[in-house]
Amino acid sequence: MNLIAQEQPTLEHRTSLSLLWHATRDDFRTRRASRASRETLERELASYNTPAERHELNAILHRADPDSAAEIRRFIQRVRVA
């Protein structure tokens, strides 16, 4: 029988895997929180039903940062299509 001694992972190897695991876990937590925030925003935007509410929302978006306003407008479009 051919038994080959396997080397144990070095402390450096275990440390780098541990750091990778923590970074991956943190990334998943961040993504999950972002997704929850987007879903909340979409629900809130869906509550703007009347023409007056939509007019108010458009006025708010007109004063907002253009990049943020564009993102919110995309959310609104998705809500209206759904």
More confident call, 36 vs 7: 36
CA-based torsion, 31, 36, 39, 45: positive or negative: negative
- For residue 52, what are its two tokens? 């007056």
- pLDDT at residue 1 above 60? no
Which one, of 5, 63, 72, lies nearest residue 44 by Cα? 72
Its domain, for residue 38, covers: 19-81
Q: What is the DSSP string of 29-81?
A: HHHHHHHHHHHHHHHHHHT--SHHHHHHHHHHHHHS-HHHHHHHHHHHHHHHH
In the prediction, which pLDDT does 62 show? 94
- pLDDT at residue 77 above 80? yes
- For the chain, how many structural domains are there in total? 1
Q: Band of the pLDDT at 31, cuts 50, 70, 90?
A: very high
- pLDDT at residue 71 above 90? no
How many angstroms separate the CA atoms of 32 and 45, rounded?
20
In the prediction, which pLDDT does 46 show? 84
**Residue 5 falls inside a structural domain:** no
**Residue 67 falls inside a structural domain:** yes
**Residue 27 falls inside a structural domain:** yes
